[in-house]
Amino acid sequence: MNESFSDPTPQRPPCWADRLLSWLTPTDLLEELQGDLHEQFAQQVDQVGSWRARFRYGLEALKVIRPYYLRRRVASLASRQKDFFPKRRATTRPYFTPEHPSPSLINPDMIRNYFKIAWRNLWKNKLFSLVNILSLSLSMAVGVILFTGLKATFDTDHFHPELNQLVRILTQETKEGEQTKWATAPLPLATQLDSVSFVGKTVKVRLAGKHNLQTDKGDVPIDLKFSEPSFFDVFGFKLLSGTAQSLANNSTTLFLTEKTAEKIFGSTNVLGHTVQFENLGYYIVGGIIKDPPLETHLPIEAMLSISSAELLEKKGAISSISQDWGGFKSSAIYARLKSEDNLEQLKATLQNYNRTLDESNLQFLAQPIEDITPGKIDIKNNPNAGVSWEDVKTQLFIILSLTLLAAFNYISLALARAFSRAQEVGVRKTIGATRGQVIGQFLMESTLVALFALLFTVPCVTILAHYIPDMDDVTFSWDIALLVCLITYAVITGLVAGAFPAWLLSAFQPIQVLRKTKTIKLFRGVAVYKALIVVQFSVTILFMILVVIVADYDRKNKAIIRSTVPSNVLTLDLKGEHYQNLQNELSQLSQVETTLATNWYYEPIKMGKDSVTLNDKTLAIHYVSIDPRTIETEGIRLLAGQNFPENMPQRTEQYVLVNEAAAKLLASKSEALVGQNLLLDSASVQVIGILPNEMIGQQRPLLYRYLPNEITTLTIKIKPDTEMEATKAIQSVWKDHFPQKTANLYNLKKYRYSGEISGEMEIFGGSALIVMLIAALGILGIASYSVETRTKELGIRKILGANNIKLVWIVTKNFGILILIAGLIGVPAGLFCGDLLRKEMGSYLDLGLINISIAFGLVAIVGLLTVLSQTIRAGQIEPVNVLKAE
Amino acid sequence: MSRTYLGEFEELVLLAVALLQQQPTGAYGVTIADELQQRTQRTTSVTGVHVVLYRLEEKGLVGSELGGATLARGGRRKRLFTLTAAGQQVLREMRQLRMGFWEALPTPFFS
């Protein structure tokens, strides 16, 4: 049973302990210590038995875990300290002792040296350096833009004084067991908070949303907020003119921000002007608010006094919430604490104000202003909180992937040039450089390139920012943190780009690279650059395919709009008024051909959503309210069934039309749907006809209903070339009917369809451009290099009779093959993404052969032209020049 | 006044080295640890003794040489320590210091 009896070999100490020893003990000390321990173990086996000896041995091994050994072990791993005992006489002379020990990697002299050599190398290869710097700065530009965006996010609301004393009150609603957090709070709570001792000041802000300000040029929607004078004490908003107190004194006072004043009046010098808000009445401009220097979660366009809100509540113009705890969804409460330490106290105090309403339970929380942006998604009614932490992470991820993309270029160029650097590495190593030092050298070079790229990018981006419309709004301040961030970004980019080439190049054995550079295969790794080219070009092709299909879709859409939407149709916004009389009168006008009261004109103008039940299947489908005469007037052919009957009942809904997509969704055989009864919400209606799908815009299942109360628009078809007179006539009729409101009358085609390129187009186009530029720059460098290294071969070929075209073909051929391979990867990827996009947009995206070939052709042509711009030199080679110096 | 300060354990290890270097086994980790265990009845660990020996070597009180591999050690060499002149000097000073104290004590203190 017991092995020690039968086993004649001497007992061995536990091997785990031995392994532990060899890990933890400095290499120089291992031999003697382990020997001693083994000897002691052998003694103890005789004295106290094998089991105890093993136990003690293990204990001894564990005792190696003490600072004395560990410190030296770590040092020896880092090979910083070669010799522990400088005074000890070496028992065996090492084979080779350098006269001067190699200095450590991080050492000011070496760094200066790296820098110097890196600089000389970059200067020597100007083209490569330029290509590298340009391609890095391109992708870094996007990084810098994202970084400034992030900076703006983190700077949000930092202009308020004593920021850490400011809190916003949140409402946590518990309804049917579900908890929802709202960024808003009921107004009566503010009055209660005022009496709390450590609350300095409170501000009530009522968020009224957009209201139409009526001007000569039509309605301008302005975001209105109601507040009180303390707003300007608590927050960092400043008044350019007027006094805050006038908000309390005069309920007709209106404050505008600089931007809004410019938008409405074209000037900020407008104190005393009277403006009219639709449904609200007249207000006098009493002050101009200075535009905040940074972003804020509480953007102001116009501000009215909170007392005027109470007046308006009495008039019934806005919902009555001033005294209502339940109406917390459109008002916010802010408080300035006496000291930032009161936050916990406030949180505790807020517990006392919990309210129980009919259906829900309200609790109140305090949120420091600093925590609003970047914030959490789960807070509702928080529209201007901006970027959430999730978005911040996404942006960082995008920055990272762009960095990698740019790094690819650097890697492929560096690898392509590995041959010419090999000798340099060989010489350096022979002189005595360690691998670490060679790596340091290469990393320094790449970092330098990245820093140059940054130097080039930042001014470009700052200048460009003024021309990119969305960027103009991003307000941030330059400070040390941002600078450090950007420089770190550049350094990381440099290190990432340089790591792989440095690792590969530093592995060269001097003896190999110096013996016969030309003939030996240095490594298989050079093929990596080919893979990188393929990757870059496949991504480019992918994006290009998306760009082409979206552009194609846009083009077709425009053509359809041109042919279907007549240019002599005006739309009139009804602004919630009854339209029958107006419509009758308008129809009488001499310039008017037909008028339709409809929310659909070849595509939905305003949609609703309702649940539809057919044979136990319930779906939520969009619907539009339509004039029964629309189909007839516009001459639309139905796919099946018939149009609405002549005399539609006004009150109850009887019939409904569906479009093809909706029919498909509801019934397997769409024709069979005609005549069937649907349950719309709870009313039963009959499907009488099927319309073709919308030709313009997004295709979605749609029901066409006759709901006179939901009509919001009149479309007026006028006689050709009478637009001026018709507009005047219609406006005067409107004025007669609704003198309180201005008419919103537009030419349908100009108003809705003169827009620029679609958002997708912008995104894909931008990405495709950047990716293509980066890929082109990468292939440019490599093509140039491949010609350079092959000059001798090409010269000999020329002597032997190859003509110029053949020479150019020889060097270009390989790149052509690479681009073809990229096509083989990129095209299926593009098809896949295009299909996803088609599902997303739900519209015709033509993924046909023509579009794909256009996309691939474009990329291939750009790629090949780039290559040709370099390889064309192969044709101009003079054999005499390249071969004379062999 | 450039005396090297020694802890108690260091002093004992140094004395053990002085004692054992005369003997045929020599002074190295195991013998020193055994000697100390016998004389002080304290459990002494070999690793601990080694640390002290290295410290003493860094202070220049002991010198060392490798040698004497045996089968029980798995063929590993031992580091044999010897007292240096500085080590002897320190031990001598220590002894004098202590003797000075003892002589200064009145005789009936310890009979």
- List pLDDT tens digits, range B12-62: 999 999 999 888 888 888 899 989 988 988 888 888 898 899 888 888 889
Whether the CB of B76 is below 8 Å from some CB of chain A: the reply is yes
User: What's the pLDDT at A474?
Assistant: 59
Residue B63 in domain: yes
Residue B107 in domain: no
What's the pLDDT tens digit per position in B51-80?
899 888 888 889 888 887 787 787 888 888
Residue B3 in domain: no
Whether the CB of B33 is below 8 Å from some CB of chain A: the reply is yes
Q: Does the beta-carbon distance from B50 to A32 stay under 8 Å? A: yes
Residue B49 in domain: yes
Residues A297, A369: Cα–Cα separation, whole Å: 9
- Cα separations (Å) of A543 from A536, A540, A832? 11, 5, 12
CA distance A99 to chain B (A): 24
Q: Which residues of B touch A88 (CB under 8 A)?
A: 57, 63-64
Residue B109 in domain: no
Which three-class secondary structure state does DSSP give residue A283?
A: strand
Q: Does the beta-carbon distance from A35 to B60 stay under 8 Å? A: no
Question: For residue A128, what are its two tokens?
Answer: 């490569």
Whether the CB of B69 is below 8 Å from some CB of chain A: the reply is yes
Could you give the count of Cα atoms lying within 13 Å of A606 in the half-sphere of its Cβ? 18
Q: Which residues of B touch A87 (CB under 8 A)?
A: 58, 60
Helices A389-416 and A527-564 pack at an angle, to 10 degrees, of 130
Q: Does the beta-carbon distance from A35 to B74 stay under 8 Å? A: yes
Q: Which residue of A has its CA nearest to B67?
A: A32
User: What's the pLDDT at A106?
Assistant: 64
Residue B56 in domain: yes
User: What's the pLDDT at A91?
Assistant: 47
Q: Which residue of A has its CA nearest to B64?
A: A88
End-to-end Cα spacing for chain B: 35
* Residue A729: CB atoms within 10 Å: 18
Q: Which of A31, A42, A69 sits opposite B76 (nearest CB)?
A: A31
- Structural domains counted in chain B: 1
Q: Which residue of A has its CA nearest to B44?
A: A60
User: What's the pLDDT at A821?
Assistant: 92
Q: What is the mean pLDDT of chain A?
A: 79
Which three-class secondary structure state does DSSP give residue A458?
A: helix
Helices A435-465 and A389-416 pack at an angle, to 10 degrees, of 120
Contact A225, A207 (CB under 8 A): yes
Q: Which residues of B touch A37 (CB under 8 A)?
A: 46-47
Q: What are the helix (H) ranges across B1-84?
A: 8-20, 29-40, 46-58
Q: Which of A39, A69, A85 sits opposite B73 (nearest CB)?
A: A39
Q: What are the helix (H) ranges across A342-434?
A: 343-350, 389-416, 418-431
Q: Does the beta-carbon distance from B46 to A32 stay under 8 Å? A: no
The series of mean pLDDT values per 10 residues for chain A, 886 residues long, is 42 81 80 86 85 86 80 68 50 45 64 85 84 82 80 82 86 82 84 83 85 78 87 86 84 87 84 84 87 83 86 80 79 86 83 81 84 75 73 79 76 74 83 83 89 87 68 65 87 87 82 61 59 85 85 80 79 80 83 84 80 80 84 79 76 81 77 79 83 74 83 84 84 82 78 62 74 81 77 85 86 89 91 82 73 89 88 80 69
ipTM of the complex: 0.86
- Give me the count of residues in chain A: 886
Q: Which residue of A has its CA nearest to B76?
A: A35
Write out the H or E segment, with its range, that includes residue A380: strand A379-380
User: What's the pLDDT at A522?
Assistant: 47
Whether the CB of B45 is below 8 Å from some CB of chain A: the reply is yes
Could you give the count of Cα atoms lying within 13 Å of A49 in the half-sphere of its Cβ? 4
Quick one: DSSP state of residue A388? B
- Domain assignment of residue B53, given as a range: 8-102
DSSP string across A470-537: HHHT------HHHHHHHHHHHHHHHHHHHHHHHHHHTT--HHHHHH-TTTS---GGGHHHHHHHHHHH
Residue of B46, B55, B61 to mutate when probing chain A, most A C-beta within 10 A:
B46
- Cα separations (Å) of A60 from A16, A53, A236, A335? 12, 10, 67, 64
Helices A435-465 and A126-155 pack at an angle, to 10 degrees, of 60
Q: Which residue of A has its CA nearest to B28?
A: A36
DSSP string across A132-201: HHHHHHHHHHHHHHHHHHHHHHHHTTTTSTTGGGEEEEEEEEEETTEEEEES---THHHHHHHTSTTEEE
CATH number for the domain that contains residue B45: 1.10.10.10
